Amino acid sequence: MATVMSPLRDETARRTTGEALQGALVDLLDLSLVAKQYHWNLTGPRFRSVHLQLDDVVSLARKAADRVAERAVAVGVNPDGRVRTVADTTKIRQPDGGYESDDKVVASMTDILAQIIARFRERIEATGRTDLVTQDMLIGITADLEKQHWMFEVQTQ
Site for a second copy in 82-111 (CB under 8 A): 82-88, 90, 94-95, 97-99, 101, 103, 106
Residues that bind a second copy (rule: CB under 8 A) add up to a total of: 78
Q: Among residue numbers 110 through 129, which ones bind a second copy (CB under 8 A)? A: 114, 117-118, 121, 124, 128
Answer for the pair 133, 118: CB distance below 8 angstroms, yes or no. no
Contact characters 20-59, a second copy, x per CB under 8 A: ---------xx--xx-xx--xxxxxxxxxxxxxx------
Interaction between residue 4 and a second copy (CB under 8 A): yes
Answer for the pair 138, 123: CB distance below 8 angstroms, yes or no. yes
- Taking Cα atoms as reference points, which of 120, 108, 113, 115 lies closest to residue 149? 113
Hey, is 78 helix, strand or coil? coil
